Structure 1
Amino acid sequence: MTEKPPVRIAFVDDDENLLSSHRRNFARLRPGWDAVYFNDPFIARDAISADPAIGVVILDIHMPGMSGLELAAELRTLRSDLIIVMLTGYADLQSALLAVNELGVFRFYPKPTNLQTILEGLEGEIAARQGHVEETLPTDFLDLFELGVVAIDDTLSILHMNAQAAELMRGSSLVRSSSQGRLIIEPVPDGLGGFLNPPSNMAPRDHQSYSVERDGEKLSVLVRRIPKKTAGTATFMVILVDPAKQKPPAIDDLMDLFGLTRSEAKLTQKLAEGLALDQAAELVGISHSSARTYLKTIFSKTGVNRQPQLMKTVLSSIPSLR
């Protein structure tokens, strides 16, 4: 009987401390597997594309010169068989969906995630690839998000929901799951049906946000269309947010999502907490006049022109992974 070749994994990260940690722990955790390590994404791309023995690549999404998303896209073009895992310290949901759905990324883990957890997830995928594997949205990564996330099709049938969404539904009168397994939002947001099933003469929008309110209870709903790899039923991510419990995005998230400088992101974070501009400026450590100048730039980058609109945009932007 022919012995199976060992699993060979490539780690790609510009963080030398993290690579050193992987070197120390990998052999102990999986003594029967091999690993190679790269701190340069360009060198990694060339080496991985040339070595068919490398079956798995674990890469950081934020690297200088070439981002993890760019590297994953090139590797997927060169090596359709690769199992790609992405790590990030601050990424928005849109990047996660892009990585999973358009680039065929197996899983999307936040930093730090225990190496043992990643390797255990890979074992199941490697075993599954001995048979047929459907191109469906992996559900495990949905549980990484702090907010309620529900995957639906264009008939509102629930494909998956994470633990946070289930918990929110238990305590809300505005959203629930029907006995037929469909997502029910009451009152129904204006325009939701048209967003899910747009007329044939209209280009479908990528995302749409709604505010649902009844009897003093409020719920923010953000719906994102998931890009399809193949023809078939449209799939959507519904993000459910209780405005009373939501925390403003982290500074790094704001920089990543909107292209803000660190100072602009700090000011935006304070404004999202409901502070007046002069209060936010004082906490950030800038003058009121500087804050007004920053605010104009922030408005330009976020596509709004008033502070209430800024708060709504920021608070519906999906903060971060755990």
Structure 2
Amino acid sequence: MPSPAKVTNIQVAARKMAPVSLATEPAVSLEDYDRLLGALYQGSLESPPWQGALQLLRDQLRSAHVTLMLRPPSSESTGVMINTGAVTQQGVESYETHFFALDPFVRLSEGQVVTAEELIGKQWLQSTVYQEYLKPLDVRHLLGADIYTKDGIECRLRITRGHDAAPFSEADKSLVKRLLPHLKRSIQIHAQLDFLECERALFAGAVNRLLLGMVSFDQNGAIIETNPEARRILGEKDGIWLAGNNLCLDNSQESRDLQRLLRQALSGASINDEGPGMVEAMAVTRPSGRAKLGVLVKAVPMGQFSESKQRPAVVVFLRDPESNAAQPSQELVRRLFGLTRMEAQLALLLTEGLTLDEAAEKMNVRRNTARTHLRSIFCKTGVTRQTMLVRLLLNSVISLG
């Protein structure tokens, strides 16, 4: 027969394995709790984020609404709110544009989970927000918690019940309190992912602006993504095109060369190396007779902790020497170099390859007038020859504008 001490230890172990009981009913089973945690972390990858997690929490708490103010409204911005439950656009706009400024249920202490009445007292029911905003929406009970990060993020979690529902219990508050640290970590993950996505979009926009086609391949040689310029070049099917996950070339020798470069790059990409990776280039003949396409193959070595085979392992850059880049605005050139509008127009025409006489004709001015403008441009930019001016403009930031 087991000793009393052993029985006690067994009882303690059994209690640890029991469903997560949060003070009083309703208890949350381990399965439901695990589902909530999974949804919270998965929410950082969703759009809109945490919609599924908030809905699960709403169901678990039998509440009318669960709202996450990812960016609380302010006098400068309407903010960003993720809502679950029956909400109307008019109700959301009313809070974002007016009632947020009258709401006393804000700036809660970190980790604190309280009802509005616990924080404010009985006068909460006499507040303008309750009387004029919440009461007409059938919101009687309000539970909240705020999240703050060292990076300046401030989020508000608000949970409501109607006038016919019971007040929030200690068990409800305990569940929310247990979930808060996980929601905070997920919000921080989302912020980092958002930063990386903004950076990616910025660089992708710069590549597109420079009319550089880009085709990325995973470790298995399958194409992951093509950017707009690559799709334009491949769509012309002039010497190179896309067939499924394969880049096909008209010229058989060039096709073999490209496949060899891709195999070498994929082999190099599997090496954990923080260096720049293998870079090779070749030209692709176009049957139309236009100038050859430039092709550059670059390996993207796996990082020290890379585990996914769906990441870019090789990138193929395509450059069409005859493509016409979007014309920078004259206003951008004028501001950058302090030119007049006529001088900016002349400078841009010269970068397109026009001679001074051709530019003067296109501007409908005399050649001597164009020469006067050109001398003024030389003076303002510090160059002494037309070729130097073109090089200066092409190497400036105007191509990114």
Q: So what's the TM-score if we normalise by structure 2?
A: 0.36
Specify the structure having the higher radius of gyration (Cα): 2
More strand by share: 1
RCO greater where, 1 or 2, for CA within 8 Å and sep 6 or more? 1
Q: Give the TM-score normalised by structure 1.
A: 0.42
